Amino acid sequence: MATTIADDLLTLMGERTSVRHYDKSESISKEDLNGILESAIKAPSAWNLQHWNFLVFHSAESKERLLPIAYSQNQIVESSAVVAILGDLEANKNTDQVYNPLVDAGHMSKEIKETLAGQINGAYTNPVYARDAAYSNASLAAMQLMLAAKAKGFDTCAIGGFNGEELIKEFKISERYVPVMLISIGKAAKPAHKSDRIKLDQVSVWL
């Protein structure tokens, strides 16, 4: 029986693992990285504000600069690239860029656009909401990035162990953005260690 796109996607999701040891001799092209990022930015987001920004560490020199910030984890320099996922604390500033083309194309009225803009700007008067939205929506793009990388034959690992303040300082990241995670990308030098999942009935409640 021929497999379907859905079958392939479910297989891909089942095969994705967190790889921490990479083959240093393997590289990833800028073209492949751009393709992975193009898939990542198709992730959903609240109000379609696209609360993500990517800092791409592709050169050996940039990864060496990142290494102490990530507590000297070898995967930083062994991987082919590392992407820092940044969340946008001021995603409300994307409103015109997102909605004006829809208004111009006749897919949305100016009145609806202005109503949405009012809702968005109202929400962003709350800094807690802005920060929560930055993390949650940027994380959607991060997951999509990892699946896209797997589809292209690369392995990944989401890394939470790094000094966010030092990352901001060293790479002069605007205060508009908050570091969410690092993602290493490359070809596995050895299989990921075995892991398991808590059973579904322990983490789900049906109402």
The distance in angstroms from the start CA to the end CA of the chain is 36
Structure confidence at residue 1 (pLDDT): 55
Structure confidence at residue 192 (pLDDT): 78
**What string of pLDDT tens digits covers the 207 residues of the chain?**
567 888 888 998 988 999 999 999 999 999 999 999 999 999 999 999 999 999 999 999 999 999 999 999 999 999 999 999 999 999 999 999 999 999 999 999 999 999 999 999 999 999 999 999 999 999 999 999 999 999 999 999 999 999 999 999 999 999 999 999 999 999 999 887 788 889 999 999 999
Structure confidence at residue 2 (pLDDT): 64
Taken in order of first residue, the domains within the chain and their CATH numbers are 18-192 (3.40.109.10)
Structure confidence at residue 9 (pLDDT): 87
Report strand pairing: 177-186 vs 52-57.
Answer: unpaired
Report strand pairing: 177-186 vs 81-88.
Answer: antiparallel
Structure confidence at residue 7 (pLDDT): 86
| Spatial separation of the C-alpha atoms in residues 173 and 62, rounded to whole Å | 14
Predicted TM-score (pTM) of the model is: 0.94
